[in-house]
């Protein structure tokens, strides 16, 4: 048996949000003809800078349980949480209808899964099943299987171990209690001018300017998200 969550954005963002930065937090998503839109330039998420798994652009965020209520003022009623959908994403099939005008510059459009496991948040990106970057509408399906060969754990930068950590993808999918995010990863983050020491110890885009010509540019539009959960 399956249970299916569907968001078409025809009645608003349904709890989905964008992200300004660590400093400014969440932002409302732009709505165009029943789709949500994310446009460059995007904030550089440096929370997982090396020795973590690397930098990200955050495009579309849906809180699945923890912290969901606090963002409803920005994203509207969270239809995932209010619909009582499960947080066990093991084996779930996620289908997205999307199109882009994206110059990816080496990045891939992938799903990030973030769960609180113990005392820290564990983040994984599904690098084994990237979404194709298409200029026309396309419907693409990924399957969230707990196969560690398909996932990349992002861990944490040198000074965020109090918040982020390492763990097993099976544990994250079993109770994906924080959020799912469409992200661009990896990013080629290079200082625009020389900096003293290791730039990964600094906050890209805040402590130093980055070379924007190396980063993705354009727009991504998301029209529909469907998640088919596996239930007994």
- Please calculate the CA angle 82-87-89 and round it to the nearest 5 degrees: 130
Task: State both tokens at 168.
Answer: 């097993």
Largest CA distance in the chain: 57
Q: What is the pLDDT of residues 121-133, one digit of tens each?
A: 999 999 999 999 9
| Prediction pTM value | 0.97
Domain of 163? 2-230
Q: What is the pLDDT of residues 39-60, one digit of tens each?
A: 999 999 999 999 999 999 999 9
Query: Per-residue confidence at 110, pLDDT binned at 50, 70, 90?
Result: very high
Query: Per-residue confidence at 23, pLDDT binned at 50, 70, 90?
Result: confident
Q: Tell me how far apart the alpha carbons of residues 171 and 154 are, in angstroms, rounded to a whole number.
A: 15
Burial class of 111 by CB neighbour count within 10 A (0 to 12, 13 to 18, 19+): buried
Give me the pLDDT at residue 181, please.
98
| Residues 79 and 7: beta-carbon distance below 8 Å | yes
Phi/psi for 81 (5° steps) reads -70, -45
Q: What is the pLDDT of residues 178-218, one digit of tens each?
A: 999 999 999 999 999 999 999 999 999 999 999 999 999 99
Number of domains in the chain: 1
Give me the pLDDT at residue 19, please.
95
Phi/psi for 42 (5° steps) reads -100, 150
Closest among 80, 51, 8, 3 to 200, alpha carbons compared: 51
User: Helix or strand or coil: residue 184?
Assistant: strand
Whether residue 231 is predicted with pLDDT greater than 80 in this model: the reply is no
Give me the pLDDT at residue 232, please.
54
Task: State both tokens at 130.
Answer: 């990237």
- The whole-angstrom distance between residue 19's C-alpha and the CA centroid of its chain comes to 10
**Which of 85-94, 186-195, 198-207, 223-232 comes out lowest in average pLDDT?**
223-232
Using alpha carbons, list the distances in angstroms from residue 150 to 60, 88, 120, 227: 21, 18, 22, 19
Q: Tell me how far apart the alpha carbons of residues 67 and 134 are, in angstroms, rounded to a whole number.
A: 32
Q: Tell me how far apart the alpha carbons of residues 138 and 120 are, in angstroms, rounded to a whole number.
A: 36
Phi/psi for 27 (5° steps) reads -140, 155
Look up the CATH number of the domain holding residue 226. Answer: 2.60.120.260
Whether residue 1 is predicted with pLDDT greater than 70 in this model: the reply is no
User: Helix or strand or coil: residue 146?
Assistant: coil
């Amino acid at each position: 048996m399956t249970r299916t969550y569907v968001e078409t954005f025809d009645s608003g963002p349904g709890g989905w949000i964008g992200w300004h930065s660590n400093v400014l937090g969440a932002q409302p998503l732009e709505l165009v003809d029943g789709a949500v839109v994310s446009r460059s330039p995007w904030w550089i998420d440096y929370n997982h800078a090396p020795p973590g798994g690397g930098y990200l652009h955050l495009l579309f965020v849906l809180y699945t349980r923890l912290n969901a209520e606090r963002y409803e003022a920005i994203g509207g009623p969270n239809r995932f949480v209010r619909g009582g959908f499960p947080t066990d994403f093991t084996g779930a099939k996620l289908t997205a209808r999307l199109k882009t005008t994206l110059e990816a510059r080496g990045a891939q459009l992938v799903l990030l899964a973030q769960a609180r496991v113990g005392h820290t948040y564990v983040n994984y990106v599904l690098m084994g099943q990237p979404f194709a970057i298409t200029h026309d509408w396309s419907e693409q399906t990924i399957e969230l299987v707990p196969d560690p060969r398909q996932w990349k754990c992002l861990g944490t930068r040198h000074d965020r171990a109090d918040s982020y950590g390492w763990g097993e993808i099976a544990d994250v999918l079993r109770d994906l209690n924080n959020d799912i995010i469409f992200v661009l990863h990896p990013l080629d983050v290079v200082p625009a001018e020389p900096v003293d020491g290791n730039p990964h110890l600094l906050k890209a885009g805040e402590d130093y300017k980055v070379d924007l010509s190396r980063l993705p540019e354009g727009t991504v539009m998301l029209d529909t998200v469907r998640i088919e959960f596996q239930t007994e």
